[in-house]
Structure 1
């Protein structure tokens, strides 16, 4: 699995259960009693795309009980991947026929941390190396999936419930929304674009100066396939490496004479870290004045990928500070608010130098929520649904308008 996927979702069940548990304990309310989450739950996939293409579904991931990687068939039965090779060898055909336009198909989801892929008109090509499954990498022009229209959702289903999200961390492509049916019969949904939102995102990128329109990939016949994330835009040369330099320089200059206060845990308002730039390095101290971590001035890749100079280990100090910084850079809130994270979405993407990919995607979401970068969950602006006693998961393939 890709690093951003593993980092964000593989431990999502544990991380979110901790957050929810903390909330329940703080209010003195006991968590509701319910039956254990079954071994599989239904996933209803509805095709509202209005496209005539054959749809193919894939449920790929890690079996949580064993740690093995593999795929699940329509009944939710787990199949481990066979050994791969070098060069990579073809993976078994894990495709499940999807619903025709206007129809629905229900399959079973096992206790996975995984992805549900869907493709239009053509099966995806998966291969296996000695290290496991090779995921599609359409930023590579020679990837066999480059000219296939597809997308995926991410989920964790475990004994604590279901976490299911839509994602644009790697690309904005075939539109879809996700949902979970609760025990009372209601369904929580997210990830749905506004009417006309699909084209509005693409047109917003095309009209943004600075190379943002170059993120859009098309087939030879002109069919739009996707818009790459800014990180992949840098890697492919679609965006210039200097795309964020002006904003980065202004931030680093500001905090040579001002203090950036980071409060990384919403449920721990007393835990604060204080950042100042000296000698080109931003050093963070705790309330006792001790230096706890430091960051070199990041470049656009470090920001767009939330990695390298903004690496975020799974710890209690550097990681939480780094993810807060990363979100502040993406949303361009670091100059206007020295107290981070800034949870007010009205303040996001206001600077001329910002993540315009994330800006246009969020602007076209019905509920304003999206996973447009790896730490878009800072402040709870991510497109995620969760229930501790899920009755059914839902993925809806939305129209291309």
Structure 2
């Protein structure tokens, strides 16, 4: 009798819990569906447009204008047209910590490298990869919170919705995606660092989804567009061992949420493999080679700091949010880089050195 009474009294509570659970499930499903919708649009919808890309760092702000043309089947190309307004210094607003860390000589070198790279890219079409490969969508949903909301704003005269992607783990970035409500194509992206500071933004000032316009522009530019030759190809770990001529060493430590995404061999580089790790949005790479370091490899050490990890001298270099580490353990030379906190990257390096020392 008591149990029957208890069931009657608790029935409304059970109903509330069930409704709440279904609500959470529906919300999560809806947000994953939104990301899938955006990814599908970036694969299937044809468009041509002009967008602005802005990069913000301790060295200042730079904005570039570029053409973009996209046809179904991951065929997307962009061409840098011009720099808008030149480099804008952050001046007095520059963060004190960044000012202390700023090395003028290194800054000049990096600016010159940027200028050379931009000049090479100017008037040259470059292929653009899909921003959200299908196999990474579930990984993003696992490691990031997804929040879909409507907006009253218009971009390039199109109504938009917003997908906000926030991290479940500390020291990860946030991404704001503004996409066309009608077809899901991304019209604006804001990338914020772990402190919530805007570091990169792209926005279309003009865009057309008219099939005839896209086809006409494609025919106009098709002769200029040359597909870039593949510099690497995906291989299995078993094949990687044959390429390297020894067993690859994978890190025993990975930052939370990260997993091995792919393994590549590098064309033109004998006995070299590339391990790619990701949490869906962020990634880092490890190159392993049993060849002697090239001059280019040695040039990476220029301006770097030398630290000691597990008794091994490791070259450490920072460029913006990206850290790079290079060292040798036994017969293998390693190069690791990624836009992750230095402490996390050093733990990855440490775990590789420890495994190498056990061989």
Question: Shorter chain as normaliser: what TM range?
Answer: under 0.3
The structure with higher relative contact order (CA 8 Å, sep 6+) is 1
TM-score (norm 1): 0.22
Higher helix share: 2
- Larger-gyration structure (1/2): 2
TM-score (norm 2): 0.23
Higher strand share: 2
